Amino acid sequence: MTLKRTILLAAFLCVTGAQAEAVDINFDGQFTQGGLVIGQTAPGSKVFVDGSLVRVSPAGEFILGFGRNAASEVELRVVLPSGSSDTRKIGVESRQFKVQRIDGLPPKQVTPDPEVVKRIRAESALIKDARKIDTATPYFLSGLAWPIHGVVSGVFGSQRVLNGKPRAPHSGVDIAAPRGAIVKASGDGVISLVHQDMYFTGKTVMIDHGFGLSSVFIHMDEILVHEGQSVKRGASIGKVGATGRATGPHLHWGISLFQTRLDPSLTVPPMPTKK
């Protein structure tokens, strides 16, 4: 969260012709696909993002999140406690994501086991439900940090197209680390999900950072927290592993604003290089 922008919007009270009241908004974050932006405006304001009312903290903070395929602009409407308001369209930068095309693969003769399909559906519903949590405490104001340091071996948004069929884009970042290395909480929050054995994601932990912002940590070897536990940024939550469908030990870290996946690497400083 390095990019700081301040936009001063002059709002005019047309009806009364009274003095203009400036709508002052500060932004921290990047208006780009995958980006997370924390805004702050006058306490007591109402904020609408693309027409939808979003949660605002008592100090006037709110969150904007842009998915991999976010539109090129977002409409922000702020209504001050006085009733004075302004609407502004803000550009959202588009990005090029890595696409790998592999053709000529032998067609897979896989008949999915109905029991496995049932299990996958039930497990993804648990994750989806955890992403619906809308806690009023802005834990995310603790700031976010890498849950572990290491080589980023998989980036957000990359996609493989196999025999012309696009697969789901990569929804987080992969960090290479040895089995057993400690995974730390990416930010303050409450543990919203602990699962010991999910088909795809293995040992899985989620943190609710408040206002619909959440982190997910998957493929872990061991989980060190329980559901409902409050954690501070940097607290030990688990150990790196290769549980679920993983080719080797690594941490997959994802961030979502409700169901919208964001790019975790845009929410933290650059990965420190080894000394």
Residues found near Zn ion in the complex (CB under 5 A)? 154, 174, 252
Q: Are 60 and 40 in contact (CB under 8 A)?
A: yes
**Rounded least distance, CB 173 to Zn ion, Å:** 7
In sequence order, the 6+-apart residues with CB closer than 8 A to the CB of 15 are: none
d(CA 16, CA 128): 47
Residue nearest to Zn ion (CB): 252
Report the residue number, 1 or 242, with the smaller CB distance to Zn ion.
242
Report the residue number, 61 or 174, with the smaller CB distance to Zn ion.
174
In sequence order, the 6+-apart residues with CB closer than 8 A to the CB of 29 are: 1, 3, 35, 36, 37, 38, 64, 266, 267
**Rounded least distance, CB 264 to Zn ion, Å:** 10
Report the residue number, 44 or 248, with the smaller CB distance to Zn ion.
248
**Rounded least distance, CB 252 to Zn ion, Å:** 3
Report the residue number, 139 or 217, with the smaller CB distance to Zn ion.
217
Report the residue number, 68 or 252, with the smaller CB distance to Zn ion.
252
With tokens 């340091």, the residue in question is 149
**Rounded least distance, CB 138 to Zn ion, Å:** 27
**Strand, coil or helix: 125:** helix
CA distances to 63, 85, 134 from 211, in Å: 7, 23, 5
